[in-house]
Homo-oligomer: A and B are copies of this chain.
Amino acid sequence: MADVAAKERKILVAVDEGEESMHALSWCLKNVISENSKDTLVLLYVKPPRAVFSALDGTGYLFSADIMAAMDKYSNDVAECVVEKAKRMCKDLHDVKVETRIEHGDPRDVICQMTEKLGVDILVMGSHGYGLIKRALLGSVSNHCAQNVKCPVLIVKKPKSTATNN
């Protein structure tokens, strides 16, 4: 009956700069992860490709190399900041191993690939990631992942009533 060992699971939480993914992580910590379990929790942040920003520059010339470099720096800073914030939320887990990963690419593809590559038992994510503009360009990350990954997917929406206090 047991095709997944209940106490040694690998749980991948896709985090981004939005509050909803932090809510998803928080919900997962309270509802999925047992404190005394031997679970491994992987916090994954995917830096969207520069094309997402470049797409805003229709001319292809508007953004100078300096601006692109500044954008890369900003993108790295955001990644570090998000991952650190997520990690801090997990500080009360004692037996659970917490790993962080920063990857680069289309979040839809990278999340699916990492889920497969790491042999993840459950993927946890918010329903709306990566902001309005990026989502319009990239499509819904959670929809894509729910349809394409093989493991169970938990999609956690941020309740509207608590939208401003995380």
Contact = CB atoms under 8 A, between A and B. Distances in A.
A67 interface: no
A151 B26 CA distance: 14
Instruction: From A26, A151, A153, name the one whose CB has the most chain B CB atoms within 10 angstroms.
Output: A153
Nearest to A6: B30
A1 B26 contact: yes
Given A6-B30, A31-B122, A122-B31, A155 B153 contact: yes
Interface stretch (A49-57, A75-83, A103-111, A141-149): A141-149
Nearest to A145: B155
Interface string A46-77: 00000000000000000000000000000000
Interface in A101-151: 121-122, 127, 142-143, 146-147, 150-151
- The oligomer's copy count stands at 2
Contacts of A24: 152
A159 B127 contact: no
Contacts of A160: 150
Contact of A157 (B6, B31, B142, B151): B151
A2 to B, nearest CB: 6
A38 interface: no
Contacts of A32: 31-32
Nearest to A161: B3
A44 interface: no
A14 interface: no
- Ranked nearest first, the 7 interchain pairs of A and B with the lowest CB-CB distance are A152-B156, A154-B154, A6-B30, A153-B155, A146-B155, A3-B162, A146-B146
